Chains A and B, each alone.
Chain A
Amino acid sequence: MNIRIAIILFLVISFSAIKSLSAQEIKTYNFTQLEPILHQTNDTTYIINFWAMWCKPCVEELPEFEIIRKAYSNKKIKIILVSLDFGSKVEDRLNKFLKRKQINAKTLILDDPDANAWIEKVDKNWDGAIPVTLIYNKEKRIFLSHAITSTELSKAIDRIIN
């Protein structure tokens, strides 16, 4: 009996270990599916970054989000990287790219080509150029329409939290 439990336990642990080693599953959303993620009313502060692999300033700022993710690991902070990449095998390419760059923040793909219909719903001041970063909780919102540094990001987060 004990051996059986031990075996099951071993299997469960090794399975979860394998799973955490493998790349994250990247889901594709349209804007209607994404929109609720931009307006959650729980106690978490969300940092939503719109970016793409082809966008040089976007790629350059990705490590800044990793710094924040680690620095705020004890706070209710959630970073979501919204990729606007498109083309064949985009999920695979994205997964490999994130692995190579050692980016572990949650990533999803926004695939909604009628951008004019949704850009203003993210922020009315956004003209559509990326990168942009939305930082919000249930009470406050900050929209940064330029490439950020972890210092700037951390100041904005502190303004939202406090």
Chain B
Amino acid sequence: MLLPLPSFQKLLIELLTKPIIPKEMKKLMFLGFLLIASIGIHAQGYKVGDIASDFQLKNVDGKMISLADYKDANGFVVIFTCNHCPYAIAYEDRIIAIDKKYKSKGYPVIAINPNDPTLVPDDSFENMKKRAMEKHFSFPYLFDAKQEVFKKYGATRTPHVYILNKKDGKLIVEYIGTIDDNYKDASLVNKKYVEDAIDALIQHKKPNINYTKAIGCSIKSKG
């Protein structure tokens, strides 16, 4: 699907500068379609440095929540997570601890469940409410019902963290990845990627490590 861009651009420029005759017009339209399609492919998911967009999603308390509601926040720890995934469960207490530690410092946790509950019944909105109550989540736990937000962010698994930092009214993605280097045992963690990244941002520095990978449960989606 992806064309080598330079030759593609050359062709496009050639076509644009030439007088357009019907046959070429068709070609041009086809190329335009390809261009849009390839942009679509490239635009999937944020990279560190990108500007993140806001969203409006339903919280477990029934209220709609947007990042814009948090006027005093300096940034956000957006975590795509869910009920059913063993990795998400293993990290629940650590997510609560991160929120408690950093909310007062201007970086609250915003948890989002991206899964389609028709594929994973455990991740239904009702079950989200239950889980949030049982664990006394100190942060909003939002439901990405249309599954648009996780796609825009490019999240692929749970848990998947995006740290955003406010700058000139924009939300810049400063870290993408995992919470730390030991999903099994919090007491054996050596590298706290998320905490280190927020600590750096608080000191107006860039995180040393801004991208990590982790094993996680794939996000369940029909399309």
Contacts and interface: CB of A to CB of B under 8 A. Distances in A.
Contacts of A56: 119-120, 220
A126 B212 CA distance: 12
Interface in A37-83: 52, 54-57
Contacts of B185: 113
Contacts of B214: 115-116, 119, 128
A94 to B, nearest CB: 14
A113 B213 contact: no
Interface residues of B, number: 27
Interface stretch (B5-13, B22-30, B94-102, B174-182): B174-182
A6 B103 CA distance: 77
A126 B213 CA distance: 9
A139 interface: no
Contacts of A119: 213-215
Nearest to A119: B213
B180 to A, nearest CB: 9
A120 B213 contact: yes
A73 B163 CA distance: 49
B51 to A, nearest CB: 22
B218 interface: yes
Classify chain A: how many residues form its interface, as a range. Answer: 20 to 34
Contacts of A54: 84-86, 217
B86 A86 contact: yes
Contacts of B119: 56
A130 B193 CA distance: 22
Interface string B199-219: 000000000000011111111
B156 A127 contact: yes
A135 to B, nearest CB: 20
Nearest to B158: A129
A117 B181 contact: yes
A89 B52 CA distance: 42
Given A55-B217, A127-B156, A129-B157, A116 B178 contact: yes
A114 interface: yes
A115 B180 CA distance: 10
B86 A115 contact: no
Contacts of A128: 156-157, 178, 213-216
Nearest to B211: A116
A120 B213 CA distance: 8
Nearest to B85: A54
A115 B217 contact: no
Contacts of B178: 115-116, 128
13 contacts: A52-B86, A55-B217, A55-B218, A57-B218, A113-B182, A113-B184, A114-B181, A127-B156, A127-B213, A128-B157, A128-B213, A129-B218, A129-B219
Interface of A: 52, 54-57, 84, 86-87, 111, 113-117, 119-120, 126-130
